[in-house]
Structure 1
């Protein structure tokens, strides 16, 4: 089940975009960067602003950013850790990057700082990777980027894109694992064991406990629908073999944890380059996929973001709605979204059901209007926050 979050009387303030970063802290979703389609070209969005989306009222607010602001870019990897947003990699006007930036989301200042690791070397420049957060560490996997040619020839973890070869460097996909320790401010590259996933980009990842999961993605002549797990303590890979029907292979999709044992997959791009709108739940305890039954199947999205919210909701924002088949290295998303909507993954608790009913029916039911003041205090406050903005879920 899904439901719109937008104010029915207003369009969301945030610009249409894809390849952006979004994280949730408390009842707020923070959105930064990405690209959008103009009448002439696809351009990256301003780097000195961050958009705040109130998940209770559906209201947007734009805040200016300062400090060591990252360049405008898309395809970077963003994570929230201890109230801070970390972004790594991405694609700017000079191509893929391997810079790391951090900003405090909770102090209201939104001042970026460039993170300079101590006595360590970062991964090579890349974008469209995935990441997992565990034990104050951010672990990055895969992506598409470039390396110097003499570093590629014997590198089994890098699959070169022969269509993108230059005199001194080459582009391609990788299946490398790199770890950034936010406490020690240091990069490491742990030695993993087990069956390593093939090199890929535009895949989706999610963290459950001390395990990182990766699904799908694109590589050399490859779009996959496999799922793998990396133990973030022992650094052991294992391929997960589902015990049931599996979602179609895809890339540019999202994978979101909603409980200690379940992940939600949404959207992406199919093998024949069609945007998808289907949703699936994967139970890691029984290795079983089940398709979500959603009333609206017209919200195709790829290269969007999907964040976990309260009551096991998944909040989807932005993304491409259409896709033009790539010619050479050029890939064209022909339209973008600035819509935010919720995928409901489980029945709501009674308090949430009451809140939704009151907000939805308050204007048509005279009894409700006259009795609002008798509601329990926590329910009343939640209702008042929403009706003050005329938000209906």
Structure 2
């Protein structure tokens, strides 16, 4: 007998209600009462051939508020109203089963059996439950530092651009018209960023395209009310704040990110094959507990152990300091029970050196009434001992910052560029000598990039790395620069493929078919032969999230110097 079932509990006191069973319909729709502020969805019994259970909380226009998925390895989901910025009245839970012997029964529409204990106070008024302006005033809601609100701008820590003008972004007022939402808003001077990346960038409202659209502003309002579709995707949805991690010469893994309507991506994990530039949805390929949806995390691959390490990030008002490991040989996730202390961090940098993770900077939450802070600390994670520790470092270390980049050069130096902290956006450069564990400020020549954060960076050769795009406190950027560590010089490069403004995107270099280095005399020939730069995702601060994959031959970039 097949005892499989999918259940939901509505509210902290609500009893579980069976939504799907082995014999019934494979789809169900449930109207969530206005008094319910928590929903827990879980499965029970043997999964058999079943693949997954898709779940969506939709608003009255049937637009997804939040999305999740049950699998044989992740059998429980939970949502809370104060974590979902668009949770309002008339919320509907839609649940559908994939795989197994699917029933031909029509979709079932159910009502929630509400449960109210006798000693429980009456629920708050409807306006208080979904009144965004009222919720924006509470100190508790400000603790995560993720809600961009003009009325609290005296506490906000945003990043100005390089001028003396007050062009720092501000958080959008929670009643502001959707038509004016952007990835990052610009406005009056402020005093707090910090978790801004997640909510600030999440303020993008509009189109999701595989390529940068030319008329996004005109299509924004029309697409905002389009019904959600559940057809399988052939490629990742548009997003920013994700990670794209190469694991071998032809394969990279995409993890996490956030897209339109401040929603964390329903398709959080993909595998990219560069032989034919094809994508494969990979969330259900790996066993074990997958990381919770997040943004501002890091993912780095260790070629010796052939494992991906995912650390930190944030989700709405949740902050993470967990370490998840994906073994790319067994395709199994594990969560590390680490010793030592490391704070929850987002928008930090993470570098691999001799099998250890070097985590620098980032945003961390503080208790009220203090705003979130940027870190200048260096933490090291040793996977062999599953322990965090702080090394003794000397020299002139970088000031606290987040949204910066870090490139490991010649397996002995980490170059740190850019980022921001109250109220400054940086374009300075620091180098950490991994042998001496000594920081030093790098005096550069040439035309440097303007101050920025959330830019893309990648190593091009043994002596050169690239900085592209990012956010300067007002606009998303499209310029590109190459830094030469031999001469400590910057050179701006102009290639058509890198002309689209992007922030929060991913840049990697990989072996790809069709690109070969023809100059054997090139000093970088041993490294850039057959290598290609790949750019994925990001946003333009004009209402667009990208899902396009742009490629540029590394030899073309180096030839443009």
Task: Calculate the TM-score normalised by the size of structure 2.
Answer: 0.52
* 5+ residue gaps, structure 2: 1-209, 212-232, 512-529
Q: Which has the higher strand share?
A: 1
1:318–1:338 Cα contact (<8 Å) kept? yes
How far apart in 1 are the matches of 2:350 and 2:531? Answer: 21
Give the alignment partner of residue 321 of structure 1, picking from 514, 529, 540: 540
Give the alignment partner of residue 19 of structure 1, picking from 241, 251, 269: 241
Match of 1:224, SS?
strand
Counterpart for residue 30 of structure 1: 253
Task: Give the CA deviation at 1:183.
Answer: 2.0
How far apart in 1 are the matches of 2:483 and 2:425? Answer: 19
Give the alignment partner of residue 307 of structure 2, picking from 62, 65, 84: 84
Counterpart for residue 143 of structure 1: 362
* 1:1-393 correspondence runs (5 A): 13-25=235-247, 26-37=249-260, 41-46=261-266, 50-63=269-282, 64=284, 65-82=286-303, 83-107=306-330, 109=331, 111-117=332-338, 119-121=339-341, 123-147=342-366, 166-167=368-369, 170-208=371-409, 209-271=411-473, 273-296=474-497, 298-310=499-511, 311-322=530-541, 334-347=543-556
How far apart in 2 are the matches of 1:312 and 1:238? Answer: 31
Paired residues in the alignment total 304
Task: Give the CA deviation at 1:36.
Answer: 0.5
Q: Which has the larger radius of gyration?
A: 2
The verdict on how the C-alpha distance between 1:13 and 1:76 changes in structure 2, with shifts beyond 3 A counting, is same
Q: Which moved more, 1:94-103 or 1:292-301?
A: 292-301
Task: Give the CA deviation at 1:291.
Answer: 1.3
How far apart in 2 are the matches of 1:181 and 1:266? Answer: 31
How far apart in 1 are the matches of 2:461 and 2:241? Answer: 26
The verdict on how the C-alpha distance between 1:173 and 1:339 changes in structure 2, with shifts beyond 3 A counting, is same
How far apart in 2 are the matches of 1:312 and 1:28? Answer: 13
2:415–2:431 Cα contact (<8 Å) kept? yes
How far apart in 2 are the matches of 1:98 and 1:106? Answer: 25
* 5+ residue gaps, structure 1: 149-165, 324-333, 349-393
1:283-328 deviation line (CA, Å, top 9, x unaligned): 10110111122024542110011112133422111111225xxxxx
4+ residue runs over 6 A deviation: none
How far apart in 1 are the matches of 2:258 and 2:377? Answer: 26
How far apart in 1 are the matches of 2:244 and 2:327? Answer: 14
1:114-139 deviation line (CA, Å, top 9, x unaligned): 0112x422x11110001111100110
Task: Calculate the TM-score normalised by the size of structure 1.
Answer: 0.73
Q: Which moved more, 1:302-311 or 1:193-202?
A: 302-311
Counterpart for residue 354 of structure 1: none
Task: Give the CA deviation at 1:140.
Answer: 0.5
Match of 1:320, SS?
coil
How far apart in 1 are the matches of 2:366 and 2:498? Answer: 41
How far apart in 2 are the matches of 1:289 and 1:138? Answer: 28
Match of 2:381, SS?
strand
1:95-130 deviation line (CA, Å, top 9, x unaligned): 2211111101233x3x2110112x422x11110001
Task: Give the CA deviation at 1:93.
Answer: 4.3
RMSD: 2.2
2:497–2:552 Cα contact (<8 Å) kept? no
Task: Give the CA deviation at 1:12.
Answer: 5.7
